[in-house]
Structure 1
Amino acid sequence: MSGATRNIYKLFVGNLPWTIGNKELQLYFSKFGHVSSAQVVFDKQQGLSKSYGFVTFSTRDGFNSASNQNTHTLEGRVLNIQAANN
């Protein structure tokens, strides 16, 4: 399968605690499957987290496992998880 036709298993993750960075986001979601990318979105001027990010899984199984879990909690905050619009 070429990269152009491969599905991307990407989740939007909202309501992130401001203390969470890329490594922590990847670590949390890696329990569902291999995470190929985890990015917290930061305000470029202030350098602070915008409290959301994106997680990309390398397999559909990891994506589905994370998507199908009812509640995700990280540092006491319930996360908002949904399929990302590519």
Structure 2
Amino acid sequence: MSLKKRLSHDIFHARTDDRKLTQQQAADAVFISLREYQKIEKGDILPGTEIFLRLVYFFDLDIKDYLEEANAHVSIRSF
């Protein structure tokens, strides 16, 4: 599962199953617009690092779940 899909899936379930939050309440909690939140939750965009971390901490997600996928896309070159 891609990082975008995994994050959007996890956020949706954390918001609806555990907290019963509206999208607007979740967006307000992490200081982003409703539209941006909707795009993240739908999997249309991957948030930047700061917003990603806010979402992970707000929804009490395990950041380790995303590291393997993120590292798969990092290319390390020696100079």
* TM-score (normalizing by structure 1): 0.32
Of Structure 1 and Structure 2, which has the larger fraction of its residues in helix? Answer: 2
- Tell me the TM-score normalized by structure 2: 0.33
Tell me: higher relative CO, structure 1 or 2? Use CA pairs within 8 A at least 6 residues apart: 1
Determine which structure has the larger strand proportion and give its number. 1
